[in-house]
Amino acid sequence: MDEKAKVAKKTVQDIEVEGKVVFVRVDFNVPLDMRTGAITDDSRIRAALPTIRYLVDHRAKVILCSHLGRPDGKVVEELRMGPVAQRLSQLTDLPVSIVSDSIGNQVQEAADDLKNGRILFLENIRFHAEEEANDPSFAQALAKLADIYVDDAFGTTHRAHASTVGVAQYLPAVAGLLMEKELTSLTGILTNPEHPFGALLGGAKVSDKISLIHSISDKIDVLLIGGGMAATFLKAQGYEVGFSLIEADKEDLAHQLLEVAGHNGASLLLPVDVVVSDSISEQAAGEVVQITGIPPNKYIADIGPQTVELFSQEIKKCRTIFWNGPMGVYEIPPFTRGTRALVELLANVKATTVVGGGSTAEIVEEMNLTHKMTHVSTGGAASLKFLEGQTLPGVAALLDR
Q: Is residue 392 part of a domain?
A: no
Which pLDDT belongs to residue 1? 39
Helix (H, G, I), strand (E, B) or coil at 290: strand
Is the domain of 244 the same as that of 154? no
- H/E element, 275: strand 273-277
Is the domain of 299 the same as that of 358? yes
Is the domain of 288 the same as that of 329? yes
CA 269 to chain centre: 25
Q: Is residue 89 part of a domain?
A: yes
Helix (H, G, I), strand (E, B) or coil at 154: helix
Is the domain of 130 the same as that of 269? no
Contact call for residues 299 and 277 (beta carbons, < 8 A):
yes
Q: Which of 398, 389, 396 minimizes the C-alpha distance to 186?
A: 389
**Domain span including residue 72:** 12-180
d(CA 373, CA 375): 5
Of 180, 207, 229, which one is at a domain's C-terminal end?
A: 180
Contact call for residues 201 and 227 (beta carbons, < 8 A):
yes
Is the domain of 383 the same as that of 265? yes
d(CA 261, CA 25): 38
Q: Is residue 121 part of a domain?
A: yes
Q: Is residue 57 part of a domain?
A: yes
Q: Digits of tens for pLDDT over the chain (401 positions)?
A: 344 445 789 999 999 999 999 999 999 999 988 888 889 989 999 999 999 999 999 999 999 999 999 999 999 999 999 999 999 999 999 999 999 999 999 999 999 999 999 999 999 999 999 999 999 999 999 999 999 999 999 999 999 999 999 999 999 999 999 999 999 999 999 898 999 999 999 988 877 888 888 888 889 999 999 999 999 989 988 999 999 988 777 777 777 776 766 666 778 899 999 999 999 888 888 999 999 999 999 999 999 999 999 999 999 999 999 999 999 999 998 899 999 999 999 999 999 999 987 889 989 999 999 999 999 999 888 999 999 989 999 999 999 99
Q: Is residue 3 part of a domain?
A: no
Q: Is residue 187 part of a domain?
A: no
pTM as predicted:
0.89
Of 149, 180, 211, which one is at a domain's C-terminal end?
A: 180
Is the domain of 300 the same as that of 378? yes
Is the domain of 16 the same as that of 162? yes
Which pLDDT belongs to residue 256? 72
- In total, how many domains does the chain have? 2
Is the domain of 214 the same as that of 240? yes
Which pLDDT belongs to residue 2? 43
Contact call for residues 142 and 167 (beta carbons, < 8 A):
yes
Is the domain of 43 the same as that of 141? yes
Q: Is residue 188 part of a domain?
A: no
Is the domain of 341 the same as that of 311? yes
CATH number at residue 351: 3.40.50.1260
Q: Which of 317, 368, 66, 324 minimizes the C-alpha distance to 186?
A: 324
Q: How far is CA 191 from CA 1, 46, 154, in A?
A: 8, 28, 19
Is the domain of 268 the same as that of 373? yes
Is the domain of 176 the same as that of 206? no
Q: Is residue 185 part of a domain?
A: no
Which pLDDT belongs to residue 261? 65
Of 127, 145, 180, which one is at a domain's C-terminal end?
A: 180
* Cis preceding linkage at 196, omega within 30: yes
